[in-house]
Structure 1
Amino acid sequence: MYISMIELMKKAREGHYCVPAIAVENEHSVRAAIQAAEEKKSPLIMIALYKVNPDIHYFGRIVEDLAIRAKVPVAMCQDHGGTYAEAMWAIRAGFTDVMVDRSTLPFEENIAQVSEIVKVAHAVGVGVEAELGHVGMANQYETDGTGGFTVPEEAIEFVERTGVDALAVAIGTAHGVYSGVPKLQFDLLAELREKVPVPLVLHGGSGTGDENLKKACQMGICKLNISNDLKRGAIANLNEKCKDGMGAYAMYPLLYEGYKNVAAHYMTLCGSEGKA
């Protein structure tokens, strides 16, 4: 079943759980994510940046073909769309949703550019996620992870004026590999969950720590983006089972296995297991 992630997130919001958003780049990673979801009986959101695959249109056909045959509901969201054209290409490629990232722009410019894409996306039944506050990079956590938090009053106005379906918030996570475990602003998350009328999203989930993430999901995060941990899990599994070099002949199955195992872990952690 291939549907918008917004429907999956609304159910997660009502049920007090979260759906992990699994970063995919090719057929192998898509198949691994779907298999993990089927084994865990979990709904699945997949995410992909515009440039991770050389041909977004063909990649979209692969995703849709596999998703409609899946035994669980599956959504596909373009992640961190950088331009208007990239969002349009994702829609043409059959993605069910787009994430529009204008978080580094001033408030009014963020609203203006997001609203433009919302109007087009909604006209063709595509859901839209935007970001308010800014989730930076983990290797710059001393600055990126300690500022730029989402302001609740601004979030309320932003959602009302743009018409977005979901909002990525900044509460102390960052993209990439942390040095240590980040500190999340749970009091801020509680306020955002109470005041913002659409499902909340947390970017930069990799390396944030299971306890942090489990608490965040229980407190109102409905979509958790995971990328780095998946790739490192795939590489670790290959290295572990290829110590004599012979495992190289099974390179793709071993990468697949490691990727799937990490995806399955996050489905259990987020509470989406058994919710399909």
Structure 2
Amino acid sequence: MTLTSTGEIVAAARAAGQGVGALNVIQLEHAEAIAAGAETAKRPVLLQISENCVRYHGALRPLALASRAVAEAAAVPVGLHLDHAESEDLVQEAVALGFTSVMFDASQLDYRDNVERTTRVTSRCHEAGVFVEAELGEVGGKDGAHAPGVRTDPEEAALFVEATGVDALAVAVGTSHAMTSKDAALDYDLIAELQTAVPVPLVLHGSSGVSNEGLVRAIRSGMTKVNVATHFNVVFTSAARDYLAANPDVVDTRKYLGAARAAMADEVQQLLTLFAEARRGGRVS
């Protein structure tokens, strides 16, 4: 395969009632682990680079080009996604670099300004054939819509999608970013209502805080794109710590980063397999 349209990947998953993993890349080893795990699972995947990650590296281009090379060499369909971009200039740079999708996040603005800016970005991206995800309300872990009790309104979500023309919508249903415990309480009835009301695929952010059983139920209730970052950071870091604890004299970074990459690849394979097996229409209890 090669670098593949995010629209194609997400549409196929939605039609099959399955989930598709959108997994965050922080460094090259993450991209390699995600591709390797996807190949073992024989499942498509999306490599995500966030605006926070761009700030860490000081630029988008180096990591983007490396991730794109990984995607192009993969034996399964791999998309390249810009996550939580608040800068319109960064979105345009990502489009120029060959990203297959962007998530434009104007959720901290009021509704009218969110619609205005998102509509402008969507129009420009669609001219380049790039899939656009947006967010209605701020996703949790960022003092917003996924704070306790905050939820996306289905009617407002449908109006937002119609007004902006976006291709996917991130919604607030009980998750929060950067969770290291898996005790998020999702509102599955709301997911089902949103899936009925909103004509585009739904996106679950903050999925690291959801149990495997909860993720299966979320997909069966109507989620399609499932974003995971912190969970894999925990796996990656734990494997590196274990290797260094067992080999305290090692100074070659390839040794412990290689062990971390292998552990993450195994976890990617397991999670993507879970997403594929969680077909909508299955039992949701």
Q: Same fold (TM over 0.5)?
A: yes
Structure 2 stretches lacking a partner, 5+ long? 279-285
1:54 aligns with 2:63: no
The CA distance in 2 between the partners of 1:63 and 1:72, in whole Å, is 14
Output the amino acid matched with 1:10.
A
- Residues 1-276 of structure 1 aligned to structure 2 (within 5 Å): 1-50=2-51, 51=54, 52-137=56-141, 144-177=146-179, 181-244=183-246, 245-246=248-249, 249=252, 250-271=255-276
- TM-score with structure 2 setting the length: 0.89
TM-score by length of 1: 0.92
Ranges in structure 1 where 5+ consecutive residues have no aligned partner: none
Per-residue CA distance 1:80-136 (angstroms, 9 max, x = gap): 001111111211222111101112221111110100100110001111000113321
- Return the alpha-carbon distance in structure 2 between the equivalents of residues 177 and 226 of structure 1: 10
**Deviates further, 247-256 or 26-35:** 247-256
Partner SS, residue 245 of structure 2: coil
Instruction: State the alpha-carbon separation in 1 of the partners of residues 277 and 167 from structure 2.
Output: 20
Please report the RMSD computed on the Cα atoms of aligned residues, expressed in angstroms. 2.0
Q: Which moved more, 1:60-69 or 1:189-198?
A: 60-69
Quote the offset at 1:258 in angstroms: 2.1
- Is the 8 Å Cα contact of residues 235 and 258 (structure 1) preserved in structure 2? no
Q: Distance in 2 between matches of 1:272 and 1:61?
A: 32
Change in CA separation of 1:191 and 1:144 when aligned onto 2, cut-off 3 Å:
closer
CA distance in structure 1 between the partners assigned to 2:69 and 2:83 by the alignment: 20
Structure 1 residue 247 displacement after superposition: 5.4
Residue identity over aligned pairs, in percent, reads 32
Q: Shift in Å at residue 161 of structure 1?
A: 0.9
Is the partner of 2:21 in helix, strand or coil? strand
* Code of the aligned partner of 1:270: F
Deviations 1:255-274 (A, max 9, x none): 2112212222221221269x
Q: Counterpart of 1:46 in structure 2: which amino acid?
A: L
Secondary structure class of the residue paired with 1:89: helix
**Aligned partners of 1:130 and 1:167 also within 8 Å:** yes
Aligned equivalents of 1:75, 1:234: Cα separation in 2: 22
Aligned pair count? Answer: 271
How far did residue 43 of structure 1 move?
0.4
Contact 1:36 1:264 in 2 (8 A): yes
> Relative to structure 1, is the Cα distance of residues 271 and 232 closer, same or farther in structure 2, using a 3 angstrom cutoff?
same
Q: Is the 8 A contact 2:47 2:67 kept in 1?
A: no
How far has the Cα of 1:242 moved from its partner?
A: 2.8
Query: Deviations for 1:175-233, whole angstroms, at most 9, x for unmatched residues?
Result: 01256611111110000111111011000011211111111012211111111111110
The residue identity in structure 1 corresponding to 2:20 is V
